[in-house]
Amino acid sequence: MILIGEDLNVMSGEISRVIKEQEPGPIQECVTEQTKNGMDYLDVNVGPVKKDPEGTMEWLINTVQAVTELPLCLDTTNPVAMEAGLKFCQKKALINSASGATESMETMLPLAAKYSADVVLSVINDSGLPSDADERAASIMESAAVANELGIPNENIWVDPVLLPIGVDQRQVTAYLEFIQMLQDLMPGAKSTCGLSNLSYGAPRELKSLLNRTFLVMIGRYGQHSAIVSGFDHELIRLIRGEEPEMVDLIYRAMDEEDMDTSALPQKELEYVKTAQVLMGKSLYSHSWLEV
């Protein structure tokens, strides 16, 4: 599983400030830490960069690349900033993101073709977010056809099925699970990614990571290629890097609805089982799902 560290993000007030003031210290610290923690890519989320997109991207990309050799995932809605960023990336970059919405396809996909970059392509289209797995399939097939036409091969496309918060719409979480299993049949060779932390948006702070990491194990089993995750979630990283094989196996067994004597399970194991069950849509989500 390819892990993309999400922490260099203008949504953080501090990161936003140091980008504006071109103060390399905190940025390089964030990059170094995530690199050390074992990320495979780093997301560089700069927002819309309204002021001097070219200058900002040049400075930022060089500042980041001075302390890491990891490839970058460029995260901006501004095509001018995106192109500027692509010019300075030393490794094959990942464009984050294009969608099936006309405007997004018209601006972002040509950049992916021109720079032979990888591109995240979400299942969103002009009518919004598809409501189930089949509609996701229909939407991505249309957008992928446009991308292929422009000379972008499936191998360069990282499909984002779009993960919604479980507290908002649990059915969208099960639709995700269903769709990710279909993806290789729909688009042979295509990769996949998602913004993992969105899953637990609104959930109790201390339980967010449990939801995120359980889900990542689950979609990993279904062939998920990568995910944008917190580069500081050590427990998640250990789990995904195969350092807790028994726990992964337990999550798989919960997914298979294997008969388990849950009363015999230690606390932590039981939490994973309950979380997997709620993520499979076997029981209705509530913030107290562990207490039932």
Partner 1 sequence: MRYEPPLEKISVNIRETVLGHGEKAIKIGGENTLPFHSFEGTLPNPPGLALEILDTEPQNWAPSILEPYEDVVSDPVSWAKKCVEVFGAEILCLRLESTDPMGQDGSPQAAAEMTKKVADAVDVPLIVWGSDMEEKDAQVLTEVARVCAGKNLLLSPVVKGNYEKIAQAALEHGHAIVAQASMDANLTKELNIVLCKFFPPEKIVVDPTASALGYGLEYTFSIIEEIKQFGLTDKDKMMQMPIICDFGGDCWRTKEAKENREQGILWEATTGISFLLAGANLLILRHPEALKLIKEMVV
Does residue 158 belong to the site contacting partner 1 (CB under 8 A)?
no
**54 by DSSP, 3-state: which?**
helix
Q: Does 291 bind partner 1 (CB under 8 A)?
A: yes
Min dist. Cβ of residue 201 to partner 1 (A): 13
Nearer to partner 1, 48 or 202 (CB): 202
Angle at CA of residue 207, ends 201 and 209, nearest 5°: 75
Give me the least distance between CB of 108 and partner 1, in Å please.
35
Residue from the set 77, 167, 174, 280 that interacts with partner 1 by CB under 8 A? 167
Instruction: Give the interface segment with partner 1, choosing from 57-65, 174-182, 253-261, 283-291 (CB under 8 A).
Output: 283-291
Helix (H) or strand (E) holding 228: strand 226-229
Work out how close the CB of 59 gets to partner 1 at its nearest, in angstroms, rounded to a whole number: 44
Nearer to partner 1, 47 or 167 (CB): 167
**Residues in the chain, how many?**
292
Residue 69 near partner 1 by CB under 8 A: no
Strand partners, 238: none
Smaller CB separation from partner 1, 145 or 292: 292
- Give the residue with the Cβ less far from partner 1, 40 or 169: 169
Q: Minimal distance in Å, beta carbon 147 to partner 1?
A: 37
**The one among 170, 181, 184, 198 contacting partner 1 by CB under 8 A:** 170
Q: DSSP string of 100-132?
A: ESHHHHHHHHHHHHHTT-EEEEEEEETTBS-SS
CB atoms within 10 A of CB 110: 16
Rounded CA separation 223/82 (Å): 29
- What's at 166, amino acid-wise? I
Binders of partner 1 among residues 105 to 124 (CB under 8 A) are none
Q: How far apart are CA 133 and CA 177, in angstroms?
A: 8
Interface residue with partner 1 among 32, 90, 102, 283 (CB under 8 A) is 283
96 closest CA partner among 165, 45, 50:
45
Phi/psi class of residue 70: alpha, beta or left (left: φ > 0; alpha: ψ in -120 to 50)?
Answer: beta
Query: Token pair for residue 214?
Result: 């359980």
Q: How many CB atoms lie within 10 A of CB 29?
A: 12
Report the residue from 20, 36, 268, 287 that binds partner 1 according to the rule CB under 8 A: 287
CB nearer to partner 1: give 246 or 291: 291
292 near partner 1 (CB under 8 A): yes
Q: Is 288 in the site for partner 1 (CB under 8 A)?
A: yes
For partner 1, the closer CB: 241 or 282:
282
Per CB under 8 A, does 145 bind partner 1?
no
Q: Using CB under 8 A, list all residues that contact partner 1.
A: 167, 170, 283-288, 291-292
